[in-house]
Structure 1
């Protein structure tokens, strides 16, 4: 449940440019979350990576629930990496210039998927609460 709520918050942050364009009054609420965007992103990235590992290790039967769980974790990792890249770069990649360049290149490739991934994460987070 907590993971689903964090996924929804991360999805809202990732999709915030599109949400604000359609609902300008949502800007006030999103602005309250923005200072925590990096930490929410780092949490989502690690939570997503851990969830992917758990999904693969717990594969006993292929079901819709398992697919949703895996999907949520993959999208959590992608959105978390995009949102938390500033902190990830600062604390993990700062001393290794090659890793920093590769991380920046990956972030630029993923950036065009930020808004769609945000909406997908919102939907998957709601689905994981419902199911």
Structure 2
């Protein structure tokens, strides 16, 4: 019985959280109107990726305020390593080979960037 109430509470909270963090409503609209066009889908993903990458950078700067000088250096090093890993895992070097490769790259990079930005946002506003 108690689990039922947790499920209802979670269902009520999810839409609020989804609007606060995650993909933008512009991206969702863009993807809905892109149809099956690889170039349209890629344009949507690229635009959202750029917005989310900016969001992540901004949040990263805010999180640095939570750390000491020594910890800030470690966090900067971790962020640099994370960015390099994202590029390698998502095949950034191949994104210009074709629309299909670009779409694969932006799909992968966007997912990873949104996840990282969401984590940073939760960390930044936990206080």
TM-score norm. by structure 1 comes to 0.30
**CA radius of gyration, larger in:** 2
